[in-house]
Amino acid sequence: MKYRITEDNREIVEIGRRIAAENSLRYSSGMREDFIKRFWEFLPDEHKLEDFYYSSVYHQQLYGASVVDYFIFRFEQRSHKEKMEYVTWYGRFVYMAFLNRDRDLHLLDNKYEAYELLRPYYKREAIAVGSWDDFEAFKKFVGRHRRLFVKPINLELAEGVHRLVIGIEDDMRAVFASLLEEASALGCEDVTREVEHRLILEEELVQSEEMARFNPLEMSVLRVTTILVKGQVHFFYPVFRMMYGDGGDRSGERYSYDALIDAQTGELVTDGIHSLSEVEHHPVTGMKIKGYRMPEWEELKAMLEEAARMFPTLRYIGWDVAHTDRGWCIIEGNTNGEFFFQMCVGHGVKREFEDLIGFHVPFGFMLEEVEQLVDNRKSKRNERNN
């Protein structure tokens, strides 16, 4: 181990500062400044934020933790032994390489391909657009659906996802030209997969009256992780992500509370948990969280088990689903699904997860090895492009 393991926060910051100095290309001054701007609203103290930044550098190198991991798992309060129990942002790539066959990732990573395969479970219309050849199909689609969700075909991290409402008076050619311009500009430095410059347009789903009891202004979703082991589908720590935005700019992951779901019963077994706070009642409607039971839970599990079995070489899938006026619908399946649900569990699930999948990773097999996996994937991608 190149860097000293310590539980002294002051020493952690100093080691993180040294790591950043020794790896100036990775940890540039611009990155530090971007970090401070990003977290200023949570901690408006530049000195404390700088310490926070260098502490996160330390935890990335030793534990493979992202800045978000460090924040939501409250690593500053945890011992080395406790930190070792978490599946972190970078660490998960090792497990995904074991569980999910690389050449089959496109089946779900490409959102339109996934839609074609899982159409009965999506319960909504969608089209792919990328050139003027798609304009006639676009006009017919908009004739049926004026409220849309726009998503890049294969980006992750919700990059580029947004609503689009098209008025009757809108110039269809101008709207379509704007979409093509949006598609041509797609790119994200945080995404390792090849960027495909097309968009998928989906009709907007309407959440059920039952789910609207939490927030009628913003659709809340579940993340249900399925793990296929020895022919059996396991549901691994599902969570309910409750939005508390207003359906406009104040929406998305920054405005959500998560609650853990009992996989057997569908009951919420925790309060709503955010990286900074916990609530017993939804902040928009006052709906009591803990103790609520998800509707049609067995139907959802049956649907996701069927879907999971369609991809025997993708044994770990994080499904985003929503309860709508059409019943449960799959939003998408994620082949690199994060382990953010550990925030709700209250401790790391690494040992339990490794025992389930029968694959154990020793401490220290972390950042360099993960980077090699990512680099190999990029190399394969570049070979295909050339």
Higher-pLDDT residue of 241, 365: 241
- SS3 helix, strand, coil % of the chain, rounded to 5? 40, 20, 40
Work out the pLDDT band at 374, boundaries 50, 70, 90.
low
Is the predicted pLDDT of residue 65 greater than 80, yes or no? Answer: yes
Smallest CA-to-CA distance from 292 within 311, 322, 270 is with 270
pLDDT at 125: 97
b/e code 97-134 from CB counts within 10 Å (16+ = b): bebbeeeebebbbbbbbbbebbeebbbbebbbbbeeeb
Is the predicted pLDDT of residue 150 greater than 90, yes or no? Answer: yes
Lowest mean pLDDT across 93-97, 233-237, 278-282? 93-97
pLDDT in tens, 285-329: 999 999 999 999 999 999 999 999 999 999 999 999 999 999 999
pLDDT in tens, 119-140: 999 999 999 999 999 999 999 9
Work out the pLDDT band at 355, boundaries 50, 70, 90.
very high
Ordered DSSP codes for 149-198: EEEESS--TTTT-EEEE--TTS-HHHHHHHHHHHHHT---TT--SPPP--
pLDDT at 378: 54
- In percent, how much of the chain has pLDDT > 70? 90
Work out the pLDDT band at 383, boundaries 50, 70, 90.
low
pLDDT at 135: 97
pLDDT at 251: 46
Q: Please name every residue paired with 223 in a beta bridge, in sequence order, or none if there are none.
A: 239, 320
Contact 194, 154 (CB under 8 A): yes
Work out the pLDDT band at 232, boundaries 50, 70, 90.
very high
- Candidate ranges 58-72, 85-99, 173-187, 258-272; pick with highest mean pLDDT: 258-272
CA dihedral 21, 35, 242, 161 (to 10 degrees): -100
Is the predicted pLDDT of residue 253 greater than 80, yes or no? Answer: no
Contact 130, 199 (CB under 8 A): yes
pLDDT at 42: 75
Give the number of C-alpha atoms closer than 13 A to the C-alpha of residue 381, restricted to the C-beta side: 15
pLDDT at 25: 85
Q: How does the average pLDDT of the chain come out, rounded?
A: 90
